[in-house]
Structure 1
Amino acid sequence: MKKIELKYKDSECMIEIPDKNLAGILNSNDLPEVKNADEEIIHALENPIESKPLCELARGKHNIVILVSDITRPVPSYILLPPIIEELIRSGADYDNITIVFGLGYHRKQTKEEMEKLVGHSIYNKVKCINHDIDDCINIGTTSRGTPVDVFRPVAEADFIIATGNLEFHYKAGYSGGNKAVLPGVCSKRTIESNHIMMIKPGTMPGKCEKNPMREDIDEAGTLAGVDFMVNAILNSHKKIVKVVAGHPIKAHREGTQYIDKMYKIKLKKKVDIVVASCGGYPKDINLYQSQKGLENASYAVKDGGSIILLAECKDGLGEKLFEEWMIKAKNTHEPVKWIQENFMLGAHKAAVICTVLERIKVYLVSSMSDEIVKNIFMHPVKSPQEGLDIALKEYGENSSVLVIPYANSVLPYVED
């Protein structure tokens, strides 16, 4: 019998799995933190991937915009920005020529205190910092897939654009980072929705860029916007920098994804009957909207008709108004999938994503939500992962296979076709 501790809210809980059933425990293969972050960033800027060095590219530019992630992302912008700005100054730019634009996508505007925290006190007091305004965007073209590309005016009017961010799996666009700083970062509502509706098309999934319509559309939008250079940090599970990639907005991004794959992508010989998955505890399991990432990742390891025992406290319930409305009003798991095709709505889109999983997999949910709510959203409430596992083992038989993913929000299992 194997005893395994799993994160749940701000503590741990235990599960016991018979040795004969345990197919494995999937954990990240963390790369070590770089010894000197500044040196790592400077080296990336001076030796970019498929690009001239930043100092050379930026020479003679008078309206430089740096795209920076908002407070909802774990990007260490306060570490990335000083070397970038030093290179810009070395190229002949003045601090007055540089604007930092926080890519909010569809998120709320940030306070001055939040902006200062993200970039650091020194940069905040030297460089103009502004929030993206979703209602002040101008059209710069249309992608080959029909997405109208409306970009925040100060970005569209810049003569040099640097995209910054961090790389991690994205549940439908393959990976974060790269041109996602533009779309959805600094685009209009109609542009974001036009791109996001592609998430229901074949090929959209975590860990995949090529032949992923959503990612390819994002990259095309970035090209239309004229992103000149990108700088992305790669973080291990402790949120420490293990690598910085810089250079061509697409080619440097793709090289960066290889480091994510090394740490978080785990190949399986075959899918299993049952996956026990923890989202990683608080704050990753603060609501179901956030916990969806763990459910999505775990689903790639489960056979059709199999089960996931998901640990997600959801102290804030479902977590998003439209998402909650769609999940509660749906009479079956197919309705949200049908609704999103007829009328795409941000927020509600995750109802369709979760229901796509629920159409082929049974989910036992360990949470603080009431049994009634859990049943209303087509999941099966259980008080502990052990209770869920015991039920699933009875259902699939004494020889059923069980896989454990202690940090399902980060780790991506996959089985090659």
Structure 2
Amino acid sequence: MRLSIRYGRETKDFFVPDRNYMGTLRPKHKKGVKDPEKEVERALHHPIGSPKLRELVSSKDKVVVLVSDISRPSPSRLLLPPVLKELAEAGVSNKKITIVFGLGIHRNQTEDEKRALVGDYIYSHFRCIEHDVENCRYSGISSKGTPIEVFAEVKDASFVIATGNIEYHYYAGFSGGAKALAPGVCSRRTIEQNHRRFMDPGARPGKIRGNPVREDLEEMARKVGIDFMVNAVLNPEKQVIKAVAGDVTAAHRQGASFLDKLSRVCIEDKADIVIVAPGGYPRDIDLYQTHKAMEHALPALKHGGILITVGQCSDGLGVGPFARVFDEGKRPIELVEELKKQFVQGRHVASRIAHIHLNNEIFLVSDLSQSTKEKLFFKSFNSVEKALSLAFDKKGKEATVWVMPFGISTLPSV
């Protein structure tokens, strides 16, 4: 079986023998809407659990619109024009609107990246700034004990709009909704306190009720105040297939339910080998982001199996604390034990990868430099074929293979 998988902005072709190939796991096919902006307008005209945006905001409001950074596939340049039109019709002037890129703890973006995310006109006519993780102010504490520290520009706003896209998240259940605020525009301390719950059994992809990470971040959003939300659901081709707007929780629930019906894939048997890719750029922009596809592939992999992860990693390893782990030469078991004693934001992902590798074996196909590959505690390859060849040597010539070309958008369920 000749197959193709997205790799950055390119593709990688490879071959899996028919006798080994169990199939390809991917979301149900749904075409993108013909006019994405009209779909956003439809959502704005039929808000869920909320009055219309133009009925909520006033000309006196100081408005902040939260948008995703370059590491997310959120179609901000499609979501923003209808939102800004609504604000204008409500009498809000351009000078009273600030667009904030939620970085969390990710790197700062280039001017070209910011312009590409929102479009030339919006970038030139509206104030567009990045969240500063070091410039956050205290806003209370959640019932789970998380100190709520929010970017000062957001704290000072009188009306906050969250935008983003809804897809599976490996421990927050789903992206989108309140995640635009937490972790999007919060302090490092807030992010760490929320994320340290990611090892809880309830913190898993596709789960909202009983998920301590999701419950905590939604409580923080309620306390700070997100006044309106607009989110998109995308197909694997990153086309808009649905938009939801309104109350940040109620609208998010409808969007998440819609996604789950398309993207949860039932399987009867697990495989000896799973070949998984996040789904191309920006989902495989670095190893930190690529790792999320590993998490979603685990339900389809037999214990002790081989997980071939295909991600270009054009930005290298990713955020500083995560990247620095691999300079230390620690063994996987040491990283797992470290996490039990102390949670450090960024390092926690290295510990999760170590946990996966101890129970299975990770093979990585990437464009990481040779010097970086030599620091990793798992095997690296330049091609899927070479990785698969060694996997067959280890698991046997009759080993079974699932392929997941859109790992971040797909959730196997046995």
TM-score (norm 2): 0.89
* CA offsets 1:160-209 (integer angstroms, 9 cap, x no match): 21111111222221221111111111111111111121212222222222
Matched, 1:15 2:42: no
Partner of 1:254: 253
Structure 1 residues 380, 123: CA separation in 2 closer, same or farther (over 3 Å shift)? closer
Structure 1 residues 317, 189: CA separation in 2 closer, same or farther (over 3 Å shift)? closer
Partner of 2:126: 127
Q: How high is the sequence identity, in percent, across the aligned residues?
A: 42
* CA offsets 1:334-359 (integer angstroms, 9 cap, x no match): 22223234333332221012112112
Matched, 1:274 2:273: yes
Partner Cα distance (2:86, 2:38) in 1: 13
Partner Cα distance (2:266, 2:324) in 1: 36
Given that 1:230 and 1:248 are in contact with CA atoms closer than 8 Å, whether structure 2 keeps it comes out as yes
Partner of 2:317: 318
Partner Cα distance (2:43, 2:281) in 1: 33
Listed as ranges, the matches of 1:199-238 within 5 Å are 199-238=198-237
Code of the residue aligned with 2:63 in structure 1: it is I
Given that 1:327 and 1:336 are in contact with CA atoms closer than 8 Å, whether structure 2 keeps it comes out as no
Is there any run of 5+ residues in structure 2 with no aligned partner, and where? none
Given that 1:61 and 1:160 are in contact with CA atoms closer than 8 Å, whether structure 2 keeps it comes out as no
Structure 1 residues 130, 372: CA separation in 2 closer, same or farther (over 3 Å shift)? closer
Partner of 2:181: 182
Given that 1:203 and 1:211 are in contact with CA atoms closer than 8 Å, whether structure 2 keeps it comes out as yes
Partner Cα distance (2:105, 2:74) in 1: 18
Partner Cα distance (2:68, 2:256) in 1: 18
Aligned partner of residue 359 in structure 2, secondary structure? coil
Given that 1:272 and 1:403 are in contact with CA atoms closer than 8 Å, whether structure 2 keeps it comes out as yes
Q: CA deviation at 1:5?
A: 3.6
Partner Cα distance (2:281, 2:52) in 1: 40
Partner Cα distance (1:91, 1:286) in 2: 38
Matched, 1:244 2:243: yes
Partner Cα distance (1:119, 1:86) in 2: 14
Structure 1 residues 298, 156: CA separation in 2 closer, same or farther (over 3 Å shift)? same
Given that 1:170 and 1:205 are in contact with CA atoms closer than 8 Å, whether structure 2 keeps it comes out as yes
Partner Cα distance (2:297, 2:312) in 1: 17
Structure 1 residues 312, 136: CA separation in 2 closer, same or farther (over 3 Å shift)? closer
Structure 1 residues 134, 24: CA separation in 2 closer, same or farther (over 3 Å shift)? same
Structure 1 residues 307, 68: CA separation in 2 closer, same or farther (over 3 Å shift)? same
Is there any run of 5+ residues in structure 1 with no aligned partner, and where? none
Partner Cα distance (1:36, 1:313) in 2: 31
Q: Which is further off, 149-158 or 124-133?
A: 124-133
Given that 2:107 and 2:319 are in contact with CA atoms closer than 8 Å, whether structure 1 keeps it comes out as no
Partner Cα distance (2:155, 2:367) in 1: 45
Code of the residue aligned with 1:152 in structure 2: it is F
Partner of 1:339: 338
Structure 1 residues 39, 189: CA separation in 2 closer, same or farther (over 3 Å shift)? same
Structure 1 residues 67, 382: CA separation in 2 closer, same or farther (over 3 Å shift)? closer
Partner of 1:76: 75
Matched, 1:348 2:347: yes
Given that 1:365 and 1:374 are in contact with CA atoms closer than 8 Å, whether structure 2 keeps it comes out as no
TM-score (norm 1): 0.89
Q: Which is further off, 221-230 or 34-43?
A: 34-43
Partner Cα distance (2:126, 2:321) in 1: 37
Partner Cα distance (1:164, 1:122) in 2: 18
Given that 2:66 and 2:160 are in contact with CA atoms closer than 8 Å, whether structure 1 keeps it comes out as yes
Partner Cα distance (2:161, 2:315) in 1: 36
Partner of 2:159: 160
Partner Cα distance (2:123, 2:296) in 1: 37
Listed as ranges, the matches of 1:16-415 within 5 Å are 16-19=16-19, 21-59=20-58, 61-110=60-109, 113-280=112-279, 284-285=283-284, 287-314=286-313, 317-367=316-366, 377-381=376-380, 384-393=383-392, 395-397=394-396, 400-415=399-414
Q: How many residues align?
A: 413
Code of the residue aligned with 1:302 in structure 2: it is L
Structure 1 residues 320, 211: CA separation in 2 closer, same or farther (over 3 Å shift)? same
Q: CA deviation at 1:223?
A: 0.6
Partner Cα distance (1:285, 1:60) in 2: 41
Q: CA deviation at 1:135?
A: 2.1
Q: CA RMSD in A?
A: 2.7
Q: CA deviation at 1:113?
A: 4.9
